[in-house]
Structure 1
Amino acid sequence: MVTRNPRGQQKSNQAETLKREIKRAGRDALKIAEREGVVAGPPPEVPDDVPLSAAQEAWLEARRQAELYRKARARLDGESAALDDERRALGDERERVAEADARAKAALHDLATERAALDEARTRREDAERELAAERARLDRRERALNDQASEVEQGRLDAEAGFLEQEREHLRRLREQRGHMLGELEAQRKQLYADLDGHRQELDEQRRRRVAEIDRMRAEAEAELAERRAQVEARVTELKELERQVRAGAENLDDDRAYEREKAQLTVAATLKRLELDRERLQQEYEVVLQRARELEQRIFERDEALRNTGYAAPEALHQRVIHLTAENEQLRQRIASMPGTADRELLEQTLRDHEQCQVVRGRLEFAIAKLRSENNSYVTANAELEELREHRDALQHSVNVHQQMLSDKRAELDDLLSNAHATRPFPGLDELDANAELQTELPVDDTPPDLAKLVEYIQQRILADRTHRRGNTKLAYRDRDIRCLLGGLAMSRLHLLQGISGIGKTTFPKAFAASIGAAYEVIEVQAGWRDRQDLVGHLNAFERRYYETAFTKAIYQAACAAHRNRPFFLILDEMNLAHPEQYFADILSGLENVGAPLRLQLSTHAIQPKAELLVIDKGVHLEVPKNVWFFGTSNQDETTVQFADKTYDRANVIELPTTPPELAERKVEARQPVSHKALMSSFGKAWKDHRATQDAVVRFLRTELASRLADDFGIGWGPRLEQQIRDFAPVVVAAGGDIGEATDHILATRVLRRLQGRYNLRAEKLQDLEKLIEERWPQLGKEGRVVTSPDATKALLDRLIEEKS
């Protein structure tokens, strides 16, 4: 019966695998050597009888050499790529140098052109001087002709004395008049020619001086630029030459390194193959020795088997007892021989000794066989332990598979539940709750009578003063009538308002108390510093769950369109609006505010979803329309945790700077009134626009004629049609609410025009002082036609603060 050794079979399989890998590595090495141009002989054949340990060592050595070669090859490829990059950079630099030379040549060509134009102007001047000399000669000839004519006249006079005195006297008078007239004309022509000549000469001289100065300046600049560029080019050429030298040296070094690496790889492969061949020979010799030893052992085993056969296959212990017994018998025999010496006894004793020696040999063989059997037994025990370990590993893997199958089953069940719930859940649960709210769907009574804006300001101020809901302790809420008028005018001008000022002065409380005083609704949204896009503000659609996750902002806009709020103003207050960038998360609203006349909508999804909430609009997706009764208020602090508003946000907003100290007001009792409707408020704004049209024209005209050119020239500040339209919406409402044209202009100038001066580093205090003086001088121009004009306190305060910063 043949007994299989699993451990020996496993080692045999590993040896065969390693032999195959060594042969494949030899073939791969030959391919790489051929590709790289390295001459290498074929790898020696791996003998089939290579022991496992030698094959493992050879395989590890081959892998190490292959890894070294791959690293050398990667380094060589990296250096080649770097060299190619340097060459490309050198080519780009050469192109830039060529472009600089071309620009320098173009500048020299322009200078030559200018010089030719100057020479042409000089030639024209010389031609003009020659024409002037010719004209002067002609005048001299004309003067001589007149003198000759005068001589002839004098001669005629003498002739007249001979008989034609009276007749020629008249002729002489006429000739004298003609001569005087011609002399006057000639003198006038001469003066005119001289004047034209002088003017032309001065103009030519001035043109020549300017042109010469310009050419000299251009030549100096061109020469300086050319010298600088030449120096840069020369420095760059020197640097490029040095770089090229380094590149060449690097290329030579790289070639040397490459040759060295190839030679090293070749020598390494040859040495490895030689070492493998020597190992093969050594292993062959060891194999022969082991084979000889195995034959000897087989012979000894055969002899042992013969001895066992001779002894009847007795056990080693029995043989040992027999040896002891024989030894005792020998001892007795020796005693007997000693007592009975003789030839027979001697022969018997010799035979006994030979038997004893033979027993010793048999004993040694049996002990060797016992040791071998014990070794085989240990191998069987080790194999059995490995088998048990494999069984335990199999059981652990089976347990892991069962656990993962159970988890997969649970996840599938959870997925089925989610899918079933997703199909069963309405996509807009938050908005559906608002539709189901009976209070929101009940219309509240409002007053549609357009209020008098001046009386409304007084009413709001007193209602806020008496309000206890928004107070902090016993401190009364007090706001200036100017700030209330500014807020009213801002409602007419824009749907976005920014309230600024130090912390704790009531920026958030102001719109809340204002809304409560007129019966409007409001909602406060806490802006988070981590907001980055529109989803943080309006929510997002989970397509997997088929559900839209509404935010407080989305629900507030939806509430504004419900029956309880749609007929009255609704203020949506973004507290700490500049904790994040409004231009990112508020971008849809900012863009919508620009499209005047078009409905302002928020897109909730790009495709239609049913069933939808009642007030949503299906139009190439699902949209939430922002009602016209909604105004947005943003409060902002200026510290290290906030960001600056961009110009696009300021340009669309009404900015209100609240004072650091509230006014001292006396509380008066006012009668309560019904909430002011949105329709009534807009009607009052429309009446103000109609009654005070001259006010809006006066403010726009003042900014255009008195300040526009100075602001543009000194500070680069301008404005477009948007600001002028906002002025036309804002100023009449402020005047109708009890203010005047100066107050409206001061607010617009301080918060919308001169606001752009804040944060600039190139301002000079002298320019700001000149601007402040100009505004004070021109401000009375607003008071024409008997209008009351308030002084520009806000504008002066802003300029004084800027002047102090720049002084």
Structure 2
Amino acid sequence: MAKKNGNKRNASPVATGAPAAPSRQAASLEKHGPIWAASFENASKVYQATGSNLDIDVDKELIGRVLDALQKTEDTASIARWIERFAEVCKELSKYQEKLNEEYIQRWEKASKLGEENNAEHKRLQLEAERVEADREALEQRVAGIDELEQELATKKNDLLSLERLLKQREANAEAGFAEENEKALRQLEEQQRQLIVQRESDLKDLQDQKTALGEEIKQAARKLAEIRHSCSDAEAQRIDALDAREHELSQEKAKLSRDRTRLDRDWSELKTEQAELENRIAEGMEAERKGFALELAKVSAQREKAWEKVQTLQERLHDLQELGTALGERSPAEILENLERLTAENRELKRQLESSDTAGLQQDNQYLRDKVSDLERDIAALRPELDEARRELSVKRVAATELEAIAREKRVLESHKNTLAVHIDDLETRIDQLTNAQKAKTAFPAMSIMDTDKAFQASIELEHVPDLKSFAEELQHRIARAEKNVELFYPIEDIRLLLGGLAMSQLHVFQGISGTGKTSLAKAFAKAMGGFCQDIAVQAGWRDRDDLLGHFNAFERRFYEKDCLQALYKAQAPRWQDSCNVILLDEMNLSRPEQYFAEFLSALEKNNPAERLISLSETELPGAPNMLRDGRQILVPNNVWFIGTANHDETTNELADKTYDRSHVMTLPKQDHSFRIKEYPPASYSFSSLQKAFDSACGEHTASVKDLLGKLTENDFTKQLETDFGLGWGNRFEKQALRFIPVMMSSGATRGEALDHLLASRIMRQGKVTGRFDVSADSVRKLMSSLEAFWSGTGLDSLPVTSLDLLEKDIKRKEGGF
């Protein structure tokens, strides 16, 4: 590598020992020395770029010796020019080398980017090959039973594997080609540019050809797959065509549902708009009416103030007249006017006589009068003490009379005020009674009246439809498990099926069992899982009639005190809840006797027409009754409400009567030790109408089978023995309930035998009917047990009536043990 002298531009290039005085050669050295040094430096840079070193020691001493040697030749000037041109060439080579390096770096980056793109394309092709491989494997599974296609599929697999190996080989060759080209580019810089351009065009063309070839191979694979599909059996082709037709039908039905949904949304939007306009009109009307009432009230108040002012003025005038009458005594106004006129006439006569009399007469008269005056003065002096005494006495009496008069006057004024106030009080009492009666008439049912206007009760929601009952029973089991917060409820699928069957059979349910078996939790969780509400009512031991359950009417206040049960019945009919599945929970229903406080409901639920299931709240129509009350006094028991009562059997409870048991669906819940892995479902609200539709569909599907079973049961010895030994028979109610309960149980996943076993155990074998009786021997029970087993095996039912047989066996043991 060339060594540079840090002061070569200022130092003299003459070798050691040269003459001190400058000469022509020294001037040439001074002129050409730096050019030579720069030339060798440029040449050294060019060699460094190629990875080689130029071992030339470029310093002043060496250049000086070279110049000393050149001074002896005649071509010093030509050598100097050659050195200058060599320096320029080396400089240009250095610049060209830098450009080549920059272009090489750019082309290297482009080549790297192209390599990454090739790698991405290769990965995409690998993914495509994997997809083709997955399609091939799917085809292998579909035609696994066809021996003729095994060889062809194996061939296709080998072809695809060969294609994959070919792609990997091409990738390896491409990478190797890039490495070779890069090595050549480092050795031959000028040749690299052309080779890179040619190589890039070649690689792009190869990649395009590979892409085209791979596309053709994929198309060939698709055609072969289509051929394989066409080579399937006719049955498979027919099934595929049927699936395609079904898919087309589903798409059409989906489009139809989408159009219906759009139409319903539009109708709903129009209804909301009309409702908003109606509410605005009602609000404006009420505001105008309120303002009119306010103006009328202001007018009445002004008239009342004027009347009071007039009354006060008249009272003051009356007081003045009374005082004047007191001052004038008992004389009438006519007498007072007559005396006044008489005195006026006498006064005029006296004045006239005075003017016509003479002076002498006047003097005599005057003297006479003087004498008279003297006499009178003497008389006055004599009478003055008596007068003073009389005045004092008069003063005392006058004060007493004045006080009496003032008291009498105050009495008269107070009596007048009393009469006036009495009139006003009567008027105010009348108005208060009118306002009170009007207010009572508006709020006879305050809670239910609020539901008629509250948007939370009037706004309807979109509900989901119940799927087929078997899958719905499984889904409901998991929804009930997650219905309550902070607790998981595990109920066997058999209990869920019994619950669904009971819902179809009756609106009254009895959940019985020992405390802590989840009776209350099942009722609440079911309502929450279905998206309805559950009204919890704690039955009290002192309940005697329906007022304890519904409330009572206060005739004095003209108001009905609505209890929770009445509000829940009305709430279930509001638009928000009218298609939901709702529950009224009678917790500890046998603390009192349901046959007393629930008697009207037992009768109403027995009616075949749901529109006639009415409970009367009063004898006459009540003013201001809510909109959904019938005739202003009757509440409907809606279909979408189930009454679920929990019953414990201990010393604090009453035994339910037969009329309650016969009208209800009874479930006995044992202690829950069952668990399973809970599946997560999003919250949902199911439609009551869709649930009833699912029940009706199940009944339509299995009614014939159930009727056949009931017919065989009626003709069997089991039924005859019930009639002869136990005095029991089948009624219309039992048959009606069985035709609803058993089909729903079968559609939910249970068998006919399981459903019939539950009905017999809860309706026939229960305590007091067949079991628990003292007038029946153990042999009769044992004979009935044998008849039941024979009926089960003779009818071909799938399993034994385990629950019924267990009850009969326990009763036999009880009788044999003497209990």
TM-score interval (norm. to shorter)? 0.3 to 0.5
Structure with higher Rg: it is 2
Q: TM-score, normalised by structure 2?
A: 0.45
Determine which structure has greater relative contact order: mean sequence separation of CA pairs < 8 Å that are 6+ residues apart, divided by chain length.
1
Q: TM-score, normalised by structure 1?
A: 0.46
